[in-house]
Amino acid sequence: MIESRVLPQTKGVFLDADSIRPDELDLSLLMEAFSGLTFYAHTHLSNAVDRIGSAQVVICNKTPMSRDVLLEVPNLKLIVVAATGVNNVDLAAATEHGITVCNARGYSTPSVVQVVFTMILGLMTRLFDYQRVVSSGVWQKSEQFCALHFPFSELSGKRIGLIGYGEIGRAVERVAKVFGMLPLIAERRGVTPVREDRLAFEDVLAHADILTMHCPLTPETKDLIAEKEFALMKSDVLLINTARGGIVNECALRDALYQERIAGAGVDVLTNEPPTHGNPLLDSPIPNLIVTPHIAWASREARQRLADQIAENVQAFREGMPKNVVNS
């Protein structure tokens, strides 16, 4: 177990500060938590050790904190991940070297929910198709007052399948009910017996009109939605993934859209980010697909809550009462 320490003076580094656009935020609480804090816009693994130097605290979002790095920074006592997911940190190595790792929780929920329903509404209402009807001049040539080229449906009465039922999944459920939707909460794949308030994973895939992903990326959820799962879905289903790339197999999603086995998809996350070497969802135009660059978490208000929570994590550790600890 990692021993809690009281740190009267705290030197820190933020290795990838541009990931939260700090120039747009009030960082007063964060600055007060340190005796000195150095910001780096981006940090590659190759220069992480030099930049950490003698710092006691590292803040990082996606910069890898590998075993090799942690071996070379003996003064490091705390890693604060500026996100909920901590797969960029070797937690076993951190624990072995007495380094506490904390994450941030709950800061992005309203932002993610807003993007989820932006995608759902855009796809369900055929918003982009109708915008093209106007921008291409088709409506202007219509013989009647409206141009009903693309049939669309209401959310009311539709079944929304929730894959993952943590804080964000529950928040999506609350908004869905306001639209008059029927939530279907999926049990984890392969788990029996199915809990009373849930449905078997395969049953949710088969009956949902909209599927939205809110589970973490783990070995169990990698390629959770792939060719076999698409085969179970209704042909008019919409799939939304604002969780993690890799949960939905991107080649299988591309094929399902091309072959019209599903009606559309909204994706905010990809397996490799940024997709510098291409991606099956980006290599050619795909019908009824929205892809955004991992922004669902990132409203200005969410990033402010994140910065404040980072400060709270650091201050709690300084006082010997660490919070949001993910290793022990």
pLDDT over 70, % of the chain? 97
For 261-312, write each residue's pLDDT tens digit. 999 999 999 999 999 999 999 999 999 999 999 999 999 999 999 999 999 9
Q: In the annotation, is 187 catalytic?
A: no
pLDDT at 4: 47
Q: Alpha-carbon distance 38 to 82, whole Å?
A: 15
In the residue annotation, 244 being an active-site residue is answered as yes
CA distance 115 to 298: 10
Task: Answer yes or no: are the C-beta atoms of 250 and 280 closer than 8 Å.
Answer: yes
Among candidate residues 32, 154, 273, 319, the one labeled active-site is 273
- What is the average per-residue pLDDT within 232-250? 97
Delimit the CATH 3.40.50.720 region(s) of the chain. Answer: 11-107+300-318, 109-291
Element (H, E) at 68: helix 67-71
Determine the topology of domain 109-291 in CATH: Rossmann fold (3.40.50)
CA gap 108, 124 in Å, rounded: 24
Catalytic residue among 214, 244, 303, 305: 244
Reduce the DSSP state of residue 264 to 3 states and report it: strand
For residue 6, pLDDT over 60 is answered with: no
Distance between CA 93 and CA 303 in Å, rounded?
29
Instruction: Give the alpha-carbon dihedral of 178, 182, 183, 187, to 10 degrees.
Output: 170
Contact 112, 169 (CB under 8 A): no
From CA 289, how far away is CA 264, in angstroms rounded? 6
Mean pLDDT value of segment 213-236: 96
Is the pTM above the cut of 0.95? no
Round the average pLDDT of the chain to a whole number and report it: 95
CATH superfamily assigned to domain 11-107+300-318:
NAD(P)-binding Rossmann-like Domain (3.40.50.720)
* pLDDT over 60 at 1, yes or no: no
pLDDT tens-place string over residues 34-60: 999 999 999 999 999 999 999 999 999
Q: Please identify which of the residues 126, 294, 303, 318 carries the catalytic annotation.
A: 294
Distance between CA atoms of 185 and 169, rounded to whole angstroms?
A: 9
pLDDT value for 269: 97
The Cβ-side half-sphere exposure at 279, using a 13 Å CA radius, reads: 20
- For this structure, is 196 an active site residue? no
Which strands form 78-81's sheet, in the order they lie side by side? 36-39, 11-14, 57-60, 78-81, 100-102
